[in-house]
Chains A and B, each alone.
Chain A
Amino acid sequence: MTVLNTEVIPDVAALAHALRKRMPWAPAQKALQAHGLPRGRGWDLTVAKLVTPGTLAPDQIVAMQQLLVDHELCGEKLIRLYQMDAELKATLIRQLRSIDIQPNVFTACYPTGLSDAEIEENNSFPLQIAAIVEADGGLAVVFSTIRGLIFREEVDPDSLPPAAREALSYYDQVLGVRQERRQTFEVVYLPYEGDLVDIRVDYPDGMLRAAAQTAHAQVRQAFNEFVGCEALSTPLNLFHLISSMYEAPNEGTVVELAFGTTTASTKYEKMRRSLLCLRQEVYHRAGKQALAAPIEPFRVSIQWLVSLTDDVYSRPELSLQSTQMARDSEAPTLFDAVIRNTTGDRDYNFIRGRLEHFLAAITTAETLESMDVVG
C-alpha cells in the first residue's frame, strides 16, 4: 500500500505544474473553488497565486495534493468495466493491501510525477505500478508509464519566415501536428462493494482512441500478471446503454447523439449551447415523431449537474461512442466509456453509479426475458 506522508509538506510549485499539465481548466477551477483554494482567470494567474509564498496554509497544500491524486485516479479517462467474482475480489484486495511495491522511478515521484526534463532525458519507461492507494470506497492500483500524445494545433503564419509564409499563402489555415511525451496514470479500481472492477486509462484531448485502447490491453495484462491469475478477462459490453440512457427522459442532459433511421440516413446531432438537452430539441422531436420506426442511437454524450458544495456545481460528461457499422452488425459491442470534466471521485463515482444502474437494468430485463422463454 502507498500511504501519502501528510507530515511532509509537498512542493507547491511541482503540484501546481502537474495539475496545470493534466487537468482541463473547466473542472480544475470548480475543484479549486470547492476545496477553498485560490484561483485566478486561467492557469497563468491561478498558478501564480498558488505558488506565491505564504498563500497556502499547510492543510491547503495537502488538499491540493489530494486534488491531483483524485485527478490521476478519475480525470479524463477512457474506462472499461469488468465483472469479478466477489470472493476473488476480496482476496485480491486483501493481498494488494499488504504488498510493498518494488521501488521504481514512478513510486519515487508519486503523485506529482516526473518533471518534463526527466521525461525528455529517458527514452524507455516500462509500465510499472506507481502506487496502491485507498480510493473512495475501494482500492486503486495505479500504473504509470510515458506515452506519446498527438496534438493538432493552428500555426500563426506571421510566426513563420517570409519564404514559408509565401509558400503557404494559398491556405486559409495552417495546422501543425505536435507530439508530446507525457506520464500517464492508469488505474485498476477494485471497489469494496459490488462486482464491477474498472480499468481507467488517461485519455486527454488530442489522444488517439486506438492508443488508449492499446494502453487498456497493456494495463489489463500487467494487472493479471501481477496478481498471478486471469482476474480481468472480457470487459462488459456497454453498447445497449447508448439507447437505454438516451431513452431515459430524466437522465442528465444529452449534448450529443448519433443515430441511424429506417429511412436510410445517419444523423449526427449536437447541442451548441450549454444546459440544453437534445431530447427536448424541437427538430429532434419532430423528426422522431415523423418516423414510424424508432431511431437507432449508436453514439451519445450526457452531462449531469453535480453539486460539490452548496454553491459549486460541476458538469461531468459521459460519452459512449460507437459507429453506425457496429449498430448494424449482428452483435454490436462497445467496451469503452469516456468520462470527462470530472473534478474528482465524487463526479466519477456518480457517473460510474449511473453505468452500474443501467447495466443492472439490462441484466434484469435479460433475465426476465429468458424466464419467459423457459416458461
Chain B
Amino acid sequence: MLSADELKLKINRIWGVAPGAMLSLRIIDFLTSVPSEQLSMLTFGNLCRVVGKPEPDKDLLTAINILVSSKVQVLETHMLFIDDNKDEHEIDLKDLQETRRSGVFIHPRTGEMINNFEAHFVPFFVPSQSLREGN
C-alpha cells in the first residue's frame, strides 16, 4: 500500500510534469485532506472545483485517467444510470463490467434492455481502498 507521497512520486516518475499529471497531484492532496466519509461521490463537477476549472478539459481528463489507471489506482470509477423518469440507479460494478464486455445494458429496475445507454450514464469517482488504507 503506497502512501500519498509515494503515489505522487510514482506519478511524477511515470508521467513527469505534464499538466494532467500536475493536476492529479492536486487531486491527491485534496483526497488526503478530506475525511473519507465526505468522499462518497466525486463527480466531474466536484473535481473541476478541486482544481479550479470552470469545466472539465483535456488536462483534467488526463489527470482522472492517471488516477484511475491500474498503475496507481487512486480513484475507482463508478456509474449512475439516469432513466427517462430522471430516477438515478447506481450500477453494480459487476454489471458495469458485463455491460462493457457485452455492449448490452439492462435497466436495473425494469430488467429491459436500454438502447443508447451511454447517453444515460453519469460517472463518478471514489477514493480506492488502497488510497484509504495507505493514508
CB within 8 Å of B: which residues of A?
A: 20, 24-26, 28-29, 41-44, 46, 152-154, 156, 175, 205, 272-274, 276, 280, 282
Which A residue sits closest to B109, measured CB to CB?
A24
Interface string of B88-114 (1 = CB under 8 A from A): 101000000010001010111111110
Choose from A29, A44, A273 the contact partner of B90 (Cβ within 8 Å): A273
Q: In the bound complex, do residue A272 and residue B112 qualify as a contact, i.e. CB atoms below 8 Å apart?
A: no
Q: In the bound complex, do residue A152 and residue B106 qualify as a contact, i.e. CB atoms below 8 Å apart?
A: no
What number of residue pairs across chains A and B have CB atoms under 8 A from each other?
Answer: 54
Distance in angstroms between the alpha carbons of A42 and B41 in the assembled complex: 27
Q: In the bound complex, do residue B111 and residue A272 qualify as a contact, i.e. CB atoms below 8 Å apart?
A: no
Give the interface centre of A28, A44, A156, A280 by most chain B CB atoms within 10 Å.
Answer: A44
B31 to chain A, nearest CB (A): 16
Q: At the interface, yes or no: B33 with Cβ under 8 Å from chain A?
A: no
Distance in angstroms between the alpha carbons of A28 and B84 in the assembled complex: 21
Choose from A28, A156, A274 the contact partner of B111 (Cβ within 8 Å): A28
Chain B contact residues, majority secondary structure: loop
Q: In the bound complex, do residue A41 and residue B106 qualify as a contact, i.e. CB atoms below 8 Å apart?
A: yes
Q: In the bound complex, do residue A152 and residue B85 qualify as a contact, i.e. CB atoms below 8 Å apart?
A: yes
- How many residues on chain B are close to A (CB under 8 Å)? 23
Q: At the interface, yes or no: B70 with Cβ under 8 Å from chain A?
A: no
Q: At the interface, yes or no: B37 with Cβ under 8 Å from chain A?
A: yes
Choose from A20, A44, A156, A175 the contact partner of B113 (Cβ within 8 Å): A44
Distance in angstroms between the alpha carbons of A273 and B42 in the assembled complex: 12
Distance in angstroms between the alpha carbons of A175 and B113 in the assembled complex: 19
Q: At the interface, yes or no: B38 with Cβ under 8 Å from chain A?
A: yes
Choose from A28, A41, A276 the contact partner of B104 (Cβ within 8 Å): A41
Choose from B38, B102, B111, B115 the contact partner of A24 (Cβ within 8 Å): B111
Distance in angstroms between the alpha carbons of A273 and B112 in the assembled complex: 22
Contacts of A46 in B (CB 8 A): 111
Distance in angstroms between the alpha carbons of A292 and B51 in the assembled complex: 36
Q: In the bound complex, do residue A42 and residue B106 qualify as a contact, i.e. CB atoms below 8 Å apart?
A: yes
Which B residue sits closest to A274, measured CB to CB?
B90
If A41-B104, A282-B38 touch, does A272 touch B109 (CB 8 Å cutoff)?
no
Distance in angstroms between the alpha carbons of A272 and B79 in the assembled complex: 11
Q: In the bound complex, do residue B109 and residue A42 qualify as a contact, i.e. CB atoms below 8 Å apart?
A: no
Q: In the bound complex, do residue B106 and residue A276 qualify as a contact, i.e. CB atoms below 8 Å apart?
A: no
Which A residue sits closest to B87, measured CB to CB?
A205
B104 to chain A, nearest CB (A): 7
Which B residue sits closest to A39, measured CB to CB?
B111
Q: At the interface, yes or no: B135 with Cβ under 8 Å from chain A?
A: no
10 nearest A-B residue pairs (beta carbon): A25-B111, A42-B106, A154-B84, A43-B111, A42-B111, A274-B90, A273-B90, A41-B106, A24-B109, A282-B38
If A41-B98, A152-B85, A276-B40 touch, does A24 touch B104 (CB 8 Å cutoff)?
no
Q: In the bound complex, do residue A43 and residue B104 qualify as a contact, i.e. CB atoms below 8 Å apart?
A: no
A340 to chain B, nearest CB (A): 10
Q: Which of B100-135 contact A (CB under 8 A)?
A: 102, 104, 106-113, 115
Q: At the interface, yes or no: B80 with Cβ under 8 Å from chain A?
A: yes
Distance in angstroms between the alpha carbons of A46 and B88 in the assembled complex: 24
Q: In the bound complex, do residue A272 and residue B88 qualify as a contact, i.e. CB atoms below 8 Å apart?
A: yes
Which A residue sits closest to B95, measured CB to CB?
A41
Q: In the bound complex, do residue B110 and residue A153 qualify as a contact, i.e. CB atoms below 8 Å apart?
A: no
Distance in angstroms between the alpha carbons of A153 and B110 in the assembled complex: 13
Contacts of B112 in A (CB 8 A): 25, 42-44
